[in-house]
């Protein structure tokens, strides 16, 4: 019995040791995933630029395509891109037994396999479809992948991904350590000016930025109007930081009697197209905001420091009637320790983007938003609804 007890004890220790080793391996794998994480956004950007998500969506609901089928459709839809990929593959691989299309299909397969491992695409295998009669992977759209397909308005999250990965933004990250040690803003150190002035001197980046904002706004506003009813009794709505005016155009499609004022910096307004019922006004919201029954701000407060937000909100307070409101769309951080949900991770990542790119920009928790509202003269905040990882908050007088 004593011998049996020792053996059982040894087995128990062995099992515990194996579990600890498995756990250690999982932790190391996750650490390596973080170290190599640049692969995912770069491959995702590649896929959106080539229209891979649109190609799969075009095959029908729940359809799956092989890399060869996707390569064939890619060749027909984008011959110039197809040629550039063929040139790339010829430089990288010299295999006389494979055609150009086979080489490109192999490259697509590897990239889509990564997207499938992150649940952006679905993946299944069929027998007899691969090289030498082996199995072949087939790829379809996962629910997340749908957001990278151009919707009924012709937009997706692809242009926003282009902005985040743009060299103008990525260069700022290399200055972040210096900004922490010396003070200042990483973007300013990288480019010699702050982020809202930079597009004036870089027309290419200005176009990238505007496309990103239009795409994200179109997706979010479509969802917002399904659940939020706060525009119903508004006669004049000011969109502060409204970009090219797309937000007001979408709102007016549902509320045609509403008059819109699109307010943004001069270099933005000069590119804004005409919309029925929308007046484009150039100016600086930190200096003044046009009068209206309500003021809408999507992803504006997170761009600025508390001091700048107070100036902006006080300007809004002056511009509103006594029963007016500011409608704010921003993410809200958890009050204490962050959880590991995708929503919290996304908000924390946005917070880091604000830290690197904007002067004092940051995401905030509920108490921080309330403190800003009260100090600016508002009576309080109503949390109205949650849309696309953003809260709709009404700051009321």
The residues that are catalytic are 302
Q: How far apart are CA 278 and CA 260, in angstroms?
A: 4
Rounded Cα gap, residues 311 and 57, in angstroms: 46
Please return the burial class of 229, using the count of CB atoms within 10 Å of its CB with bins 0-12, 13-18 and 19+: exposed
Q: Which two tokens stand for residue 121?
A: 């695409």
Q: What distance in Å separates the CA atoms of residue 280 and residue 285, rounded to the nearest whole number?
A: 14
- 125 with 138: CB under 8 angstroms? yes
Q: Which stretches of the chain are assigned E, i.e. beta strand?
A: 121-126, 136-141, 236-240, 259-264, 278-282, 294-298, 325-330, 332-333, 364-365, 380-387, 390-396
Q: Which position has the token pair 């090219």?
A: 244
Distance CA 129, CA 319 (A): 66
Beta-sheet pairing, 325-330 with 236-240:
unpaired
Residue with structure tokens 């930025």? 209
Answer yes or no: are the C-beta atoms of 101 and 71 closer than 8 Å. yes
Closest residue by Cα to residue 119 from 223, 40, 198: 40
CB atoms inside a 10 Å sphere around CB 211: 17
- Helices 158-165 and 39-50: crossing angle, nearest 10°? 130
> What proportions of the chain, in percent to the nearest 5, are helix, strand and coil?
55, 15, 30
CA 190 – CA 181 distance, rounded (Å): 15
């Amino acid at each position: 019995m004593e011998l049996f007890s020792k053996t059982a004890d040894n087995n128990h220790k062995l099992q515990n040791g194996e579990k600890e080793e498995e756990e250690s391996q999982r932790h190391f794998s996750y650490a390596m995933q973080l170290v190599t994480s640049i692969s995912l956004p770069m491959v995702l950007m590649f896929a959106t630029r080539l229209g891979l998500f649109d190609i799969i969506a075009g095959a029908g609901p729940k359809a799956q395509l092989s890399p060869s089928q996707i390569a064939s459709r890619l060749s027909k839809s984008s011959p110039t891109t197809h040629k550039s990929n063929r040139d790339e593959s010829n430089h990288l691989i010299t295999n006389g037994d494979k055609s150009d299309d086979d080489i490109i299909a192999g490259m697509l397969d590897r990239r889509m396999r990564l997207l499938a491992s992150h649940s952006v695409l679905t993946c299944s295998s069929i027998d007899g479809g691969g090289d030498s009669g082996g199995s072949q992977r087939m790829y379809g759209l996962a629910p997340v992948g749908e957001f990278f397909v151009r919707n009924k308005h012709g937009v997706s999250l692809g242009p926003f991904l282009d902005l985040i990965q743009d060299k103008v933004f990525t260069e700022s990250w290399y200055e972040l350590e210096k900004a922490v040690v010396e003070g200042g803003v990483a973007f300013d150190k990288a480019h010699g000016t702050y982020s809202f002035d930079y597009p004036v001197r870089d027309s290419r980046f200005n176009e990238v930025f505007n496309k990103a904002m239009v795409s994200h706004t179109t997706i979010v506003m479509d969802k917002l109007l399904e659940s939020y009813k706060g525009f119903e009794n508004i006669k004049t709505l000011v969109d502060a930081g409204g970009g090219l005016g797309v937000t007001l155009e979408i709102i007016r499609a549902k509320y045609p009697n509403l008059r819109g004022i699109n307010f943004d910096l001069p270099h933005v307004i000069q590119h804004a197209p005409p919309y029925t019922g929308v007046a484009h006004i150039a100016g600086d919201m930190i200096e003044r905001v046009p009068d209206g029954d309500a003021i809408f701000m999507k992803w504006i407060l997170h761009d600025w420091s508390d001091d700048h937000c107070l100036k902006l909100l006080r300007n809004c307070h002056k511009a509103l009637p006594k029963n007016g409101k500011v409608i704010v769309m921003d993410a809200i951080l958890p009050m204490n320790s962050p959880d590991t949900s995708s929503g919290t991770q996304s908000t924390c990542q946005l917070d880091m983007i604000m830290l690197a790119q904007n002067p004092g920009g940051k995401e905030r928790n509920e108490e921080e938003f309330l403190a800003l509202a009260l100090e600016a003269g508002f009576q309080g905040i109503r949390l109205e609804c949650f849309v696309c990882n953003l809260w709709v908050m009404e700051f009321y007088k």
